[in-house]
Structure 1
């Protein structure tokens, strides 16, 4: 365990530069005293770790020092070579580079680890792509990428969730691929917002650039953003009574957005509470489950479904 921890300290200092004992301890979840002992052990073994006291000080490595792949353990080698989908990398022109990187890593591994890499690649695969997704990328994909890479402002026409198209002047920070769908994280009016790339109707690169927030960190921001979405409680909520044959369908269609009530036995029908994006989504679900669902609440949903059903019957009678 200590050998892995010492290697982690070296890698952290290589990738992040100068770090304090407090920062290293928080990253590795160990005490400051343990970090100081580990630093002494690294120095004693010949690793060029330097310390600097005072404000702005910390520990750092000699710039010419680089560790090798010989310190990798079996699980770390396995995690490197898990078979994964490279579609997202191909979208941004990095698919071939990713494949070459794996070949170089394999070549750099000590021989005893080669069989480990092949073993895991044939037994575990992570595919982040949804079953059905759009294969065509946005016609403004190149402009969006360039704006992100060059910190260029853009003027765009964007289609909102309700179908209305609005003019936007944006400072594009980052591109994020979530379940095979690309999103643009951009700043507008001093606030970071997320835009679905395939909803842009036009994108114009502007001459002006922007300055990123000095404290912005994409992985940290996205973790907090997704957590906020999961905890967001002001969306549309409804409660349905559902036939047992359709319970599995709802669970598959809306993972993480349902909660089952503890019902008394009633011919197998179950009460299920759902969180949705809008009343339109709720109406579509109810119509799709026609004959296998009853609306419990809200009353407005029940009335809206009944009114819509009457309109459909009237149209069919014409």
Structure 2
């Protein structure tokens, strides 16, 4: 209750009871206990009243469990923080956290940090290092309208006026969620060639949730990226290779569509595939561990490619 009041300000007894899953009577009792313990909590009476801490009161970082302290050691992304110009800020915060933790919890957190390390990018690409990223981040922090020179996927150049809403780091790549001409859109930061601050603040959309926006946008992007489905059958090894070659899309297809293995060990799966030539390349990765059953034209393309490869190798 103390942490809720500290972080949210004024809250009614009903709000506290709902948040803590207790009765209002319990809230009254615990408020009295906090007050008796010397915590400066007071009540505003009336229809819009509630409980509130005396201005400026803060509790120390007490009550952390050993597991919570260890989890905090994994919470930071130092590489990403450095990209955003927050590397020294993160280091200072970690020092303050270490100083506030009891000795036994501090030792446990350091022990975990020595044994686990989070490396975000994949093997074949690193985190993008971009001159514009800190400026974009600054515009996000300060809700500043910006003008950008942007390269689209076909390498054509456009100019856009953006209201930056948030930054997302996905597999080593930075993406900007922004409002443009009244619509919420996503831009890859590496394609921003130039940026200027227009000197104007904007009001963020009420209720905008960056995590929810990113989930919805990712789902739409995935549907565009994989607009059709191939019916295939895979060997046990092919089944293991599906998430390796197709990532989370393949893993979900296995969970949702894979049949039980037949007597020969083969399973049938409905795999999302890209349009055109990329689909052929994806399926050829599997070699003899996957057979395309449908659509017929895709099966024919795979058969033709395999025949050409057979002729090439004699």
- Tell whether the structures are fold-level matches, with TM greater than 0.5: yes
Counterpart of 2:177? 185
Q: Could you report, residue by residue, the CA deviation over 1:32-54 in whole angstroms, capped at 9, with x for unpaired residues?
A: 44333322321222211122244
Counterpart of 1:100? 92
Could you tell me which runs of 5 or more consecutive residues in structure 2 were left unpaired when the two chains were aligned: none
How far residue 222 of structure 1 moved from its aligned partner, in angstroms, is: 0.6
1:139–1:40 Cα change, 3 Å: same
Distance between the aligned counterparts of 1:169 and 1:18, measured in 2? 38
RMSD of aligned residue pairs (Cα, Å): 3.4
5 Å-filtered alignment, 1:1-318, equals 9-82=1-74, 85-160=77-152, 166-216=158-208, 220-223=209-212, 225-226=214-215, 229=218, 235-236=226-227, 237-253=229-245, 254-255=247-248, 256-259=251-254, 260-263=257-260, 265=262, 267-275=264-272, 281-299=278-296, 301-302=298-299, 309=305
Distance between the aligned counterparts of 1:284 and 1:203, measured in 2? 37
Question: How many residues get paired?
Answer: 301
Q: Does the 8 A contact of 1:157 with 1:201 survive in 2?
A: yes
Distance between the aligned counterparts of 1:144 and 1:181, measured in 2? 14
Could you tell me which runs of 5 or more consecutive residues in structure 1 were left unpaired when the two chains were aligned: 1-8
Q: Does the 8 A contact of 2:83 with 2:133 survive in 1?
A: no
TM-score, normalised via structure 1 length: 0.77
Distance between the aligned counterparts of 2:300 and 2:133, measured in 1? 43
1:138–1:64 Cα change, 3 Å: closer
Q: Does the 8 A contact of 2:84 with 2:133 survive in 1?
A: no
TM-score, normalised via structure 2 length: 0.78
Q: Does the 8 A contact of 2:83 with 2:134 survive in 1?
A: no
